[in-house]
Amino acid sequence: MKKPLLVLFDGNNIVHRAFHAFAASRPLTVSKTGEVISAVYVFALMLLKIINELKPTCYAIAFDTKAPTFRHQMFDQYKAQRPPTPDELINQLGRVRQLVDAFHIPIYELDGYEADDVLGTLSEQASQQDIDTIIVTGDADAMQLVSPRVRVLYPKPRGGFNNTDLFDEAAVNLKYGIKPEHITDFKGLKGDPSDNI
């Protein structure tokens, strides 16, 4: 009997990567309306590729919400240096959600929390039920979630989702020189310019 496998997708991160890697340089449009759908197309290809290759027992997608997170309440400059999301990307995020709904893939999101927080909670709950989890994200912060039951499928820079690394505990240790549970300490000491901390 096949061991259960949960695959969790970091929705916002994947759409952003698709938009900036492919969509900005070679926009794909719907001919009748002129609507740009490059990120939606790349997202759909990635989703189908990973589901077909990993053959998970179940899968879900986590998205950020527009609401401020508890981190913003703790530090009002959290992510303040980031430029606003382009309208073209905002429109495609809406289309991606329509695609996910059409595929009947469960969406998890919670005001006050980032998709990363939701992914961490879901992967921990799965671990407690002896379910292995693979988190699909380009966010290195997810490395802190790696454990005996949780791995991270991480696209290589410029490689898209055709060129990925699967991080288990040994791979995290090899890349960063520390155990996954020490990633938060490391980032706390080093700072994280992408989050303005």
Instruction: Please report which confidence band the pLDDT of residue 166 belongs to, taking 50, 70 and 90 as the band edges.
Output: very high
Q: What is the pLDDT of residue 23?
A: 54
pLDDT of residue 132: 98
- Please report the pLDDT score of residue 72 as a whole number: 47
How many domains does the structure of the chain reveal? 1
Residue 116, H or E segment: helix 115-128
pLDDT in tens, 96-135: 999 999 999 999 999 888 899 999 999 999 999 999 999 9
**75 band by pLDDT with thresholds 50, 70 and 90:** low
Long-range contact pairs involving 146-155 (C-beta distance under 8 Å, separation at least 24): 146/172, 146/180, 147/180, 149/123, 150/123, 150/126, 153/50, 155/17
Q: What is the domain range of residue 75? A: 5-195
Percent of the chain with pLDDT over 90: 49
- pLDDT in the model for residue 146: 98
Query: Greater confidence, 142 or 74?
Result: 142
CATH number of the domain at 175, please: 3.40.50.1010
**What is the average pLDDT score of the chain?**
84
pTM (2 d.p.): 0.86
- What is the per-residue pLDDT across 12-39, written as a single tens digit (0 to 9) for each? 999 988 887 765 566 666 767 888 888 8
* Cβ-Cβ contacts under 8 Å for 42 (sequence gap 6 or more): 18, 21, 22, 23, 160, 161
Provide the β-strand partners of residue 7: 59, 134
Q: What per-residue confidence (pLDDT) applies to 10? A: 96
Residue 6, pLDDT > 90, answer yes
